[in-house]
Amino acid sequence: MTGVEYIEARSVEEASRALTEQGEGAKLIAGGLALIILMNHRLLQPTCLISIRRLRELRYIRWDDAAGLRIGALTTHREIETSRVVRRRAPVLVEMEGQVGSIQVRNAGTIGGNLCHGDPREDPAPALLVLDAEVTLASAAGARSLPLRGFFVDFLSTALQPGELLTEVRVPPLPPGTGATYVKFSHRNALDFPVAGVGARVTLDADGVCQDARLALGAVGPTPLLCDEAAGLLRGERPSPGLLEEVARRARALAAPSSDVFGSEEYKRHLVGVLSRRALEQAWQVAGDGREATRGRGRQRSREGA
């Protein structure tokens, strides 16, 4: 850390100004998990660290009937995992966060830092992508909203402009009859990065026909990937082994994995197919269960009113 300037920001505006004034050598630090690893391996050598960890205004979980679920950028993975609001409104995020690293990692790491790191192997992005999440990017000049699908530019590269901070993640209210899930495969356990991760979302109408679907892949390309073309095959259909296999086949074709110590390109494509089908089956089941539960509550209210 010798020769590295350290600034403790007291507001988003102050952090933004410091980023602009310090130039390309300045980096934000909150939980610091990914940043410290990069520095230890000398892959990154910042000249200035700007701490935002004391900005309590960026640490919250709120529900708004119009905007949906709002999560401050400094909210930890563990806080999302244990939130009753998240469990009720977007339970797939609770499911996903329980698979992020160790309990120590989840207690320290923040959702904003995770997304801004831009590593396609991280778990949150695929789950948030299928929920049509948006992010708020703020600077001293103002704030702008950006769909998460447009946030990831390349490996370890995002759409953040000079002086900008990610301040909030928003998940719009999910339509009735929606089920979502996240599945991953890693060689040992959740402490590992996934060899492949898949998020899936299905929305069913009253007759069990798919109205909408999303499928997102992680760890099999330079950025997380939303597979609109593959998921679009499900709209207007009921589940069948042949249909789900075709969606999985298209997801395999859209993936862009590279061979490494964790597996060959061919192996990772195979995993994408297996996990895509599994995730869609689970999401379809969750959506169907929710639809039946809603019908059951309606019948109960009818009996009570009779």
* Predicted confidence (pLDDT) per residue in 11-63, tens digit: 999 999 999 999 989 999 998 888 888 888 888 889 999 999 999 999 999 99
Q: Are residues 88 and 21 in the same domain?
A: no
Residues 236 and 253 occupy one common structural domain: yes
Residues 191 and 271 in one domain: yes
Task: Give the residue from 79, 16, 28 showing the smallest Cα distance to 52.
Answer: 28
Instruction: Examine the pLDDT at 190 and tell me if it is beyond 80.
Output: no
CATH number at residue 89: 3.30.465.10
- pLDDT(293) > 80: no
Provide the pLDDT confidence category of residue 306 given band limits of 50, 70 and 90: very low
Q: Is the pLDDT of residue 294 over 80?
A: no
Arithmetic mean of pLDDT, 203-218: 97
Confidence at residue 248, expressed as pLDDT on a 0 to 100 scale: 97
Report pLDDT for 162.
94
Supply the pLDDT for residue 43: 81
Tell me, yes or no, if the pTM score tops 0.85. yes
Residue 297 has pLDDT above 60, yes or no: no
Question: Given this model, what pLDDT does residue 40 score?
Answer: 85
Do residue 165 and residue 76 come from a single domain?
yes
Last residue of a domain, one of 136, 171, 206: 171
Selected residue with higher pLDDT from 32 and 158: 158
Q: What is the mean pLDDT of the chain?
A: 92
Closest CA to 220 of 170, 166, 171, 274: 274
Is 246 contained in some domain? yes
The whole-number pLDDT of residue 291 equals 60
Alpha carbon 232 to chain centroid distance? Answer: 20
- Whether residue 194 is found in the same domain as residue 287: yes
More confident residue, 191 or 183: 183
Under the banding of pLDDT at 50, 70 and 90, the label for residue 298 is: very low
pLDDT value of position 80 = 98
Contact 124, 114 (CB under 8 A): yes
* Residue 275 belongs to some domain of the structure: yes
In this structure, what token pair is assigned to residue 72? Answer: 């401050």
Q: 152-154 and 5-8 as β-strands: parallel, antiparallel, unpaired?
A: unpaired
d(C-alpha 114, C-alpha 124), whole Å: 8
Q: How confident is the model at residue 292 (pLDDT cuts 50, 70, 90)?
A: low
Domain count, the chain: 3
In a domain, 303, yes or no: no
Q: What is the CATH number of the domain that holds 10?
A: 3.30.43.10
Pair 190, 167 in one domain: no
Mean pLDDT of 203-214: 96
Domain of residue 66 covers: 57-171
Q: Is residue 122 part of a domain?
A: yes
Residue 1 has pLDDT above 90, yes or no: no
